[in-house]
Chain A
Amino acid sequence: MKTKIHMPKILKQKNFLFKLGLCICLAWIFIAIFSPLIMPQDPYAQDMAARFQGPGTAHWFGTDELGRDVFSRVLLGSRVSISAGLITVCITVVVGLFYGGIAGYIGGVIDDIMMRLAELVSSFPPLILAMVIASALGPSIFNSVFAMTIIWWPNYARLMRSMVITLKENEYITASRTLGASHVRILFREILPNSIGPLLVMATLDIGNAILTFAGLSFLGLGTQPPTPEWGSMVSDGVSNMNYWWISTFPGLAIFSMSIGANFVGDGLRDYMDPKLLKD
């Protein structure tokens, strides 16, 4: 009954896009961790004499309007962008897991009230809610992550609830209850491990989305503040300097590659765990 992910087994399968995505994600995580060691130049150092230089041997991705090295900034920018996405997804999974788990397990009126509340939040236009929260609390990385958490948790709550409702009717739960297991034990030791698979797939597919949304909020000026390098705000640096295409193209490519990598991995995981698609 237990759905376990055997990573080695999934890697043995013929799934080119999954492996490609995994490589991209691992490469970016490596870059994010070791960026201070591999950056060729100081990403904060301004050099007005060298501003708006196109990509070349001195600056691989060119320089921006303050003469900063775009390549070094893209490398260091991975830290904020990727960690913001990962943290958002982690928090929303935990919140949704508890909320949906409790609602589904208790059932009845409390379940109804809890789920209507979740529905209310998710019926709100997400980006607008995030913009409102982020701009009301003041633009910062923390507030953007908070805003994204607020708009995202209902998805996980709903999934978790539906899993709990199906699982709690199983015989092994009845058995465990007869043996005198507490509700907490049943919920977290019996039900949770069996519902983690679909949650994990949803979370992997959401990482790309979270990175995109965070970059979007930063692009609108609601996330990272200058001079911290971050992919979304770097793209927006290029808006007023359209002819210097490299300023926004490279950070945009970075967002795109990370997001597509995460989606490849998520797709691969989903196909792997969905027996319907593996039938033939």
Chain B
Amino acid sequence: MVKYIIRRLIFVVFLLIGVSLLVFLISNLVPSDPVAANMSPTAMSDPEAVAVYKAKWGLDKPLYQQYFVYLSNLLKGDLGTSIRTGNPVLEDLKQFFPATLELSIFAMIIAIVLGVLFGVISATHRDKPLDYIFRTISIGGVSVPNFWFALLMLFLCYSKLGIFPGGGRLGSRSTSPSGGSGLYVLDGILSGNWGLASEAFSHLLLPALVLGFFTMGLIARQTRSNLLEVTSMDYVRTAKAKGLPGGKVITRHALGNALIPVITVMGMGFCNLLGGMVFVEKIFSWPGIGQYAYLSATTLDFPAICGVSLLIAVIYVVMNLFIDILYGIIDPRVRYS
């Protein structure tokens, strides 16, 4: 087990080098010009200003040198300086990451709870109206364009009905708490500031619901098909034959085994969540990594793009490692080889 984890961690290092190399190559192979993307046309017409700019960001050095400079800085924990914001990328990430983390944790909780529930209802009512309804909801989850769904929910729940607050992490009159974990709900609870916690929570709920909807669909579909497969097995038939009520057969015997493959889907869903984040954060004015990634990508701010990509790759790999380990603990049939 320990050996397995160590081997996976070594793979992570190679993966990160690969990701950084990939971003680096794209940033140099594509026919784009970060100078043109970040300087005004008037400044561009001045060759001296362009030269100063290039020297400042190391754009005048040969390619492989640029990469090694980048890599050695990376090892020192220096991700470079964002061309767009002018701040160190690491600082930017530290600033924006808690907002994204808070949003994705809540989205994931919503996705798992609703996904498993809908999947179980669907499977236990196979080919009945309830099955069709929940299958449609879960296929709807993976089919709905989340940018549109986000807009629709914002329009309905905020503009029309007024039951949810608008965008942002807190109301416009509230100031964000300094220090703490950066997770406002948690910070509010820990410091006993219940007003802050509930305000942050009410701002969090709608974007988390929109974001989690896709993953909910994935989990519900997987739960349904696994549960159908498991319920056709002998041990479930035995449980039924010994007179156990239907509900207990599902919760005590079938569900546990049906949920094992769902764990993999949860990992996949979490990674999908990170993609959907770009849209949801943009529409809900959520100051997180998604918005940062979008602005960095469209302005070709490569140090920032690389930083974001590395961060997401790390999350991705750690998440998958965590799931693999969890898999081994829950299901003794899985052996690490």
Give the interface of A toward B (CB within 8 A).
14, 16-17, 120-121, 123-129, 131-133, 135-138, 208-209, 212, 215-216, 219-222, 232, 235-236, 238-239, 242-243, 245, 248-249, 251-252, 255-256, 259-260, 262-264, 267, 276-277, 279-280
The answer to whether A280 touches B232 (Cβ under 8 A) is: yes
With CB as the reference atom, state the residue of chain B lying closest to A270. Answer: B225
Give the interface of B toward A (CB within 8 A).
15, 18-19, 22-23, 26-27, 30-32, 127, 132, 135-136, 139-140, 142-149, 151-152, 154-155, 159, 225, 228-229, 232, 271, 274-275, 278-279, 282-283, 293-294, 297-298, 300, 305, 308-309, 312-313, 316-317
The answer to whether B151 touches A235 (Cβ under 8 A) is: yes
Partner of B145, one of A121, A131, A215: A215
Partner of A279, one of B232, B297, B308, B313: B232
Measured in the bound complex, the distance between the Cα atoms of B279 and A177 in whole Å is 52
- CB within 8 Å: A-B pair count: 143
The answer to whether B143 touches A260 (Cβ under 8 A) is: yes
The answer to whether A128 touches B308 (Cβ under 8 A) is: yes
The answer to whether A216 touches B225 (Cβ under 8 A) is: no
The answer to whether A235 touches B145 (Cβ under 8 A) is: yes
The answer to whether B313 touches A249 (Cβ under 8 A) is: no
From DSSP, what is the main secondary structure of chain B's interface residues? helix
Measured in the bound complex, the distance between the Cα atoms of B101 and A85 in whole Å is 31
The interface residues of chain B lying within 8 Å CB-to-CB of A209 are 142
Partner of A263, one of B32, B142, B298: B142
The answer to whether B15 touches A137 (Cβ under 8 A) is: no
The interface residues of chain B lying within 8 Å CB-to-CB of A235 are 145, 147-148, 151
With CB as the reference atom, state the residue of chain A lying closest to B315. Answer: A125
Lowest 6 CB-CB distances: which A-B pairs, in order? Answer: A252-B148, A131-B297, A260-B143, A136-B30, A136-B32, A127-B275
Can you name 15 A-B pairs with beta carbons within 8 Å? A17-B136, A123-B19, A124-B313, A125-B316, A131-B278, A132-B300, A135-B300, A212-B145, A219-B145, A220-B278, A242-B155, A252-B152, A263-B139, A264-B139, A277-B225
